[in-house]
Structure 1
Amino acid sequence: MFFWPQSVENRAALRTAIAALVAILISFKFHLETPYWSGMTVVIVSNLYTGSIIDKATMRILGTIAGAFLGYFIAGLVVNSFLLYLVCCFLVIAVSVYFFNYSKHGYAYLLGALCIFIVISQLALNPQNAFFVAIWRPVEIGIGVFVAAVNAYAVFPNHIKDNMVVQVHDIFDEFLAEFKALHQLLIHPDVNSSELAERNLNIKKKIRTAIELIGALNQEIGVKKEHVDRFRAYMDTLYAMSRQFQYLIILQPQVTELNSLKKLDIDPLFAAIEHDLIEFQTKFDLRQTEAIVLQTSDALADFEQRFNRRKNNLSVKSDFIYSFINYVKQLNQNFILIKSLSSPEPVAITPKYKVISKQQRLRSDYDLIKHCIKAGLSVLLALGFWFVSNWPGGLNGIISSLVISIKGKNLFDMKHVSIHRFMGCFLGGGVGLISLAVFEMNLYELIIILLFFVWAFSYFMFKMTEYSYIGLQANIALIITLAQQGGPPIGLDPPLQRLAGIIIGITATIIVANVLWRSDVWTILKRYIDKLYRFIAFNLEQVILVTEDQRSLHDLANLFWLSRGLITSLSNEQLSLKKQNLLSALTQRFESLVIVQATISHILVTIDLKKAHETALLFEFDLLSHEKKLIESFNLHDSTAGLNLSQIFGDFVTNIDHHAAFASTNDESIRNLLAYVNALKQVSLHIN
């Protein structure tokens, strides 16, 4: 029976193996000096999906060509000055690392810097060779890029647009399970609510994964810009749904509140929500042609009618009941928006505020500037080791130093990157050396060995994402060992030079990381959390005190994920009691900020602030004064003042029905005010 790969990972691994082999054979055919660069390029730009390969391959070839010619130009300027040579090396690396973090085309800047180094390094090896390298290195890499791009479409293609359908179906499955769990929690108070938080976090991770692929979706044939924009809006709406749900589960409902909700008969409402989620799931497509019928609007209207009839028998002081009603209303608005995105002419979404993006923050981020300086100094130190020791593999040491500096922003990450780089080098190089010892290594044996082991390492890389760097480095080491000039290998210099280079690079990077602005993981995590607190304080003030048309809010999603990633990594380590306590304290601070961020999102999306202030005046409650005190307390980390404010907010909610204005104020206005005051109370309780 003919074997046809079914899984996305297996198809991508086979495609990578075939493309790498073809690129190497083409380089053999044209008698290129270093054919392994063509094969390395294929495995480096390899990805599960076609669009991602094209995106990365395009940046790689553009960066390489620009770097080669710029490198040749710089080589002519610095050839007679060693000091100028070192200064240029430092500036090239520092600038490339800055733009690697700052620009969405950062990979092109990184490859440009590497190619500049490859060219100007010839000044130390063979100055006459600089022009030759500037011409032929882009050719070798260009062969790999071309073969990878053609194979991405021709050999076992995995299109992002097809995967998007699978991912969205999976996300809706998670939402369905989440709402079923919420329904059970409201009916049976003994159900563990922590499951909801875990499930919601899992939904956010899956949505984030889908969002990360959107940029590469533009590279796929047959996908129009309008489809990409529509899908981005679709994902943003789903992410907003998960954020709003997060605020709901922050509140801890009392048994009496849950009993009140059950009396209102919530089953039809949840049945309608489930129906609409299934409707979205079954009819999702990037081109969106099928009509969608919603039931949540009618079910919500019926639910509110029941509430209005029975509200005199229910508590109006409940945090959770009013938050639940507000949440379902906002959920219904999101459903209507998703339906609009599914129509031929979707409604234009007007943002309520300007977004301060990650790139805008990084423009003047001192931590990034320090990171760039450290990366430049690491490369200079690796360069110094090379010059002083005359150890082969100096160029590989420079590359290793740069890669480790970029991938490891703290000593904890550097350790893992270095270990994975070593393991991959030994694994791939070991397979190559064993193959040389066992086989005569004619061309046919070389083809079989490359095809099988590149497939195996690629499959490991795609399947075991946590250890994917090991698979990548194993592929690179294997190709360097076996794909040498003229055909099968005749020497061991390339793999041994790479190993020596890795040692040089790791040593240089670790020394600089420990000596200059030491960046251990605890310092970095604390720095991230401090930044989050500062940016959240800014966002809080913007949402509460600044008019809607003047708001500018920090997009903190990336910083939250970075912090959570560090906390998760540290949680899996064996820590001393002192460090366990430190991690617990930092985790508690982080979770408090998660709650505050969810509360800010809730205020921004759900609350009518103008109406809340007007209603507060009717109840003689100085809302503006308390808002300013809350902002001041948050900026000063004054938790005592926060507790005092929470008491004021709590007393107001408790006694609101005793005020003379209560009977004459409409229920919608009271509900809006109570939801806002309870949100302010949540913020005041989480000042730290």
Structure 2
Amino acid sequence: MIRFADGEAALFSVKCFIAAMLAYYIALRIGLTRPYWAVTTSYIVAQPLAGAVLSKAVFRLVGTALGAAAAVVLVPSFVNAPAVLSFALGLWLALCLYVSLLDRTPRAYTFLLAGYTASIIGFPAVDAAGGIFTVAVLRVQEITIGILCGSLIHGVVLPRSVSARLLDKVDAMLADAERWSRDALRGAREQTLDLERRRLALELSELYQLSIHLPFDTARLLPRTRTVRALLDQFTLLLPLATTVEDRLAELALCPGGLPAPVAALVTRTAAWLETGLGQPDREAVAATLIADAAALEPATIDGATAWRDMLLLNLLSRLGDLVALHRDGRALRDQLRAPGPRPITPRVAALLHQAGARGLHRDRGLAVRAGLGTLATMLLACTFWIGTAWTDGAGAVLIAGVCCALFGNVDDPGPVIFTFLLGSAAGIGLALVYAYAVLPRATSFVTVAAALAPVLLILGSMLARPPLTLFTLGTLLGLLNTVGLNASYSGDFATFANGAVAQLIGTGFAVVTVGLFQTIGADTSIGRLLRASWRDVARRARGRAPDAQLWSARMLDRIGLLMPRLAQRREEIRLPLMDVLTDMRIGFVAGELDRLAATAPDAERRQLRAMLDRVAGHFCTLRPAAPEAPPPALLGEVDAALALFATDPEPARRRTGLTLLTSLRRNLFPEAPRYEAAA
């Protein structure tokens, strides 16, 4: 029996083939000189989801126009100075790659296209600079045809909606989050749920990427991007909040007297509500009752003999109320996504939509600069080889090397990736050799050419839809389509075919070598940079330099998503001792809230909080991935001194906030420390 995934891949392949042949037919009918560019483009923009195809098409069209404009400006200006022209085109590509690596959204494709389109147009036109404008216009026309055909077929013929995928993912993520919270309230320890929760970081990244495509989707009712962003904010707050609740439950179980019976009953009611109540009409009313009951059970005073237990209870009940509110708001935003119109369904949803802001993403400017400089060096070395050997088709090798650097510049170790692409290119050229000299000479019309290409293109299209084979297949398709001779008329010039094929292989092989020299950083280095960036951000927040908690938390969570596949490469546990970014995220979140509290606290409390937060920041600034250290014991004394001050604060709201935050900070920084004891 054919599996559903196989059927999806087959349908995707058929649509790719129809789009490619339509693009080829149109390019032939209007007399374009290189119709294979339209065919290749139709495959490059192909995506299983209709909205992703349309958005990628728009990004590619804009990028192509920018790249063509850059080529028109640069080539005539420096045509008499080949070395300067090579540097200018290489610098343009490096700059575009730098910007794309900082963007880290599907929009980055625009900058990549702008970079290597200038090379594709510019280098072959060095000997005919007078016709550069015509070449650029033709290139844009052919790519536009490929884009329009791909968009039409994938967007109209049995389209796969981004909205449907997004809504299904939201439902699955909410179900997982609610299950995790239920399990934690019922006694599951953090270690049991930790790996699953870290997977949420990857899912949040995918959900954010899907939201970029929403405005281009073909569904009848489109969820609003702002609603997705508001929901992402709720998911971002879930991780530090849920882990706080389960830690406090575990710690209270070890305290004399354990968990008070009324609090245990409230925890049980909350777990039951998370299991059955979120889908009920009285969801809002029950949530309000649970939040009110949690507030009513909070200790009114902190007794000296049971101070630590009272602080833990205060922290637990405060965070339990926040957890209930978060799950309530998540379900409300889920309902808003499925609402028939953009009007907020409740005032609370309206407030959440108003608060939703930009999504914080990790950006490593150092690595982006390195990738840009490595690309520039690759282009200059390739141009030196081309100019030095006076190879007529050397421009093809140069532009292919640049394309490889651009496409794979965001990979920690791009050499093996480009080598896989090289193997695919070699396979495609082998297929092109068979087709160009054994099959296509016998094809005397468009119909026979399409029929001859159908078997191999349908197989490759199906492989393209399978992630493990995508990279190899993309190389095969480009190797086949760029050299097989899909022009207006058949040409059996073997020398032209051989030169083009050799240029493609040499250019790709050259990129394998040069990126290994200039752009390889390895998983260990990448992990270290991510950890240091996280620690720097914790220090910044402790010093009051990252006041937007949601933006800061989103960036930290994004780093967890980046760390997970790299740690998996090393076959190490995702949870590393003293390198737990999730714990760092909780510490930084609380530290930032304490910094805000210090701004309005009395002098003694403010001085103590500032001194403590400076020590927190200093600790995280000195951490090193190779030899991480535990927080200094003096910091524990600073935290306990702050707890003692806030325990006697006469202002109830400030006392509650201070004790709640300081208890969280103590548990996250010193989970193995003895229980806090108030001074006699």
Q: Same fold (TM over 0.5)?
A: yes
Cα distance between partner residues in 2 of 1:484 and 1:548: 55
Task: Identify the residue that residue 78 of structure 1 maps to in structure 2.
Answer: 78
The alignment partner of 1:80 has SS state of coil
The alignment partner of 2:632 has SS state of helix
- Partner deviation per Cα, 1:361-413 (whole Å, 9 max, x = no partner): 66xx3443333222111111122223334557634433443343345458852
Task: Identify the residue that residue 15 of structure 2 maps to in structure 1.
Answer: 15
Displacement of 1:53: 1.4
- Partner deviation per Cα, 1:200-242 (whole Å, 9 max, x = no partner): 1223322221111111111235789982212221232223223
Task: Identify the residue that residue 120 of structure 2 maps to in structure 1.
Answer: 118
Task: Identify the residue that residue 566 of structure 1 maps to in structure 2.
Answer: 566
Aligned length: 644
Displacement of 1:145: 0.8
Task: Identify the residue that residue 237 of structure 2 maps to in structure 1.
Answer: 240
The equivalent position to 2:611 in structure 1, one of 611, 617, 625, is: 625
Task: Identify the residue that residue 620 of structure 2 maps to in structure 1.
Answer: 634
Displacement of 1:429: 3.7
Cα distance between partner residues in 2 of 1:257 and 1:240: 28
- TM-score (normalised: structure 1): 0.79
The equivalent position to 1:609 in structure 2, one of 585, 590, 597, is: 597
Would you say 1:327 and 2:319 are equivalent positions? Answer: yes
8 A Cα contact 2:17 2:454, kept in partner:
yes
Q: Which amino acid aligns with 1:645?
A: L
Cα distance between partner residues in 2 of 1:352 and 1:316: 36
Would you say 1:644 and 2:634 are equivalent positions? Answer: yes
Task: Identify the residue that residue 256 of structure 1 maps to in structure 2.
Answer: 254
Q: 1:417 to 1:310 in 2, by over 3 A?
A: same
Cα distance between partner residues in 2 of 1:523 and 1:320: 39
Displacement of 1:9: 4.9
Displacement of 1:626: 2.5
Cα distance between partner residues in 2 of 1:621 and 1:3: 65
Cα distance between partner residues in 1 of 2:27 and 2:51: 25
Would you say 1:594 and 2:582 are equivalent positions? Answer: yes
Displacement of 1:159: 1.6
Cα distance between partner residues in 1 of 2:436 and 2:512: 33
Displacement of 1:88: 1.5
Q: 1:204 to 1:323 in 2, by over 3 A?
A: farther
Displacement of 1:510: 3.0
Task: Identify the residue that residue 296 of structure 1 maps to in structure 2.
Answer: 287
Cα distance between partner residues in 2 of 1:621 and 1:116: 58
Cα distance between partner residues in 1 of 2:535 and 2:65: 43
After superposition, residues 499-510 of structure 1 pair within 5 angstroms as 500-508=503-511, 510=513
The alignment partner of 1:33 has SS state of coil
Displacement of 1:447: 2.5
The equivalent position to 1:206 in structure 2, one of 203, 208, 223, is: 203
Displacement of 1:496: 6.7
Cα distance between partner residues in 1 of 2:515 and 2:534: 27
Task: Identify the residue that residue 172 of structure 1 maps to in structure 2.
Answer: 174
The alignment partner of 1:218 has SS state of helix
Would you say 1:378 and 2:370 are equivalent positions? Answer: no
Q: 1:322 to 1:623 in 2, by over 3 A?
A: same
- Partner deviation per Cα, 1:558-585 (whole Å, 9 max, x = no partner): 444333332222338xxxxxxxxxx99x
What CA RMSD, in Å, does the superposition of the two structures yield over aligned residues? 4.5
Cα distance between partner residues in 1 of 2:369 and 2:55: 27
After superposition, residues 47-126 of structure 1 pair within 5 angstroms as 47-103=47-103, 105-126=107-128
8 A Cα contact 2:36 2:486, kept in partner:
yes
Cα distance between partner residues in 1 of 2:298 and 2:174: 29
Displacement of 1:197: 0.8
Q: 1:217 to 1:547 in 2, by over 3 A?
A: closer
* More divergent stretch after superposition (47-56 vs 558-567): 558-567
Q: Which amino acid aligns with 1:595?
A: T
Q: Which amino acid aligns with 1:447?
A: A
Cα distance between partner residues in 1 of 2:54 and 2:548: 40
Displacement of 1:677: 1.8
Cα distance between partner residues in 2 of 1:173 and 1:6: 27
Task: Identify the residue that residue 677 of structure 1 maps to in structure 2.
Answer: 662
Q: 1:542 to 1:421 in 2, by over 3 A?
A: same
Q: Which amino acid aligns with 1:531?
A: A
Q: 1:144 to 1:410 in 2, by over 3 A?
A: closer
* More divergent stretch after superposition (386-395 vs 46-55): 386-395
The alignment partner of 1:542 has SS state of coil
* More divergent stretch after superposition (597-606 vs 110-119): 597-606
Displacement of 1:148: 1.3
After superposition, residues 286-435 of structure 1 pair within 5 angstroms as 293=284, 295-302=286-293, 317-318=308-309, 321-338=313-330, 341=333, 342=336, 343-344=344-345, 346-349=349-352, 365-390=365-390, 394-409=394-409, 413-433=413-433
Task: Identify the residue that residue 676 of structure 2 maps to in structure 1.
Answer: none
The equivalent position to 1:457 in structure 2, one of 452, 455, 460, is: 460
8 A Cα contact 1:23 1:38, kept in partner:
yes
Gaps of 5+ in 2: 337-343, 672-680
* More divergent stretch after superposition (631-640 vs 234-243): 631-640
Task: Identify the residue that residue 481 of structure 2 maps to in structure 1.
Answer: 479
The alignment partner of 1:213 has SS state of helix
Moved over 6 A (4+): 1-7, 222-226, 306-312, 350-356, 546-549, 551-554, 605-608
Task: Identify the residue that residue 579 of structure 1 maps to in structure 2.
Answer: none
The equivalent position to 1:151 in structure 2, one of 136, 150, 153, is: 153
Task: Identify the residue that residue 194 of structure 1 maps to in structure 2.
Answer: 191
Cα distance between partner residues in 1 of 2:604 and 2:269: 34
Q: Which amino acid aligns with 2:174?
A: F
Cα distance between partner residues in 2 of 1:611 and 1:142: 57
Cα distance between partner residues in 1 of 2:547 and 2:522: 41
The alignment partner of 2:387 has SS state of helix
- Partner deviation per Cα, 1:11-51 (whole Å, 9 max, x = no partner): 44432232122212322334433222111111111112222
- TM-score (normalised: structure 2): 0.80
Cα distance between partner residues in 1 of 2:493 and 2:355: 64
Cα distance between partner residues in 2 of 1:262 and 1:14: 64
Task: Identify the residue that residue 283 of structure 1 maps to in structure 2.
Answer: none
Work out the percentage of aligned pairs sharing the same amino acid: 14
- Partner deviation per Cα, 1:436-491 (whole Å, 9 max, x = no partner): 68756635564245444444334333332x54322322232333344521367846
Cα distance between partner residues in 2 of 1:606 and 1:495: 68
The alignment partner of 1:295 has SS state of helix
* More divergent stretch after superposition (632-641 vs 26-35): 632-641
Task: Identify the residue that residue 678 of structure 2 maps to in structure 1.
Answer: none
8 A Cα contact 2:45 2:53, kept in partner:
yes
Displacement of 1:305: 5.2
8 A Cα contact 2:294 2:320, kept in partner:
no
The alignment partner of 1:571 has SS state of coil
Q: 1:555 to 1:4 in 2, by over 3 A?
A: closer
Task: Identify the residue that residue 535 of structure 1 maps to in structure 2.
Answer: 537
Cα distance between partner residues in 2 of 1:649 and 1:3: 58
- Partner deviation per Cα, 1:63-87 (whole Å, 9 max, x = no partner): 2223224312322211222233233
Gaps of 5+ in 1: 280-289, 573-582
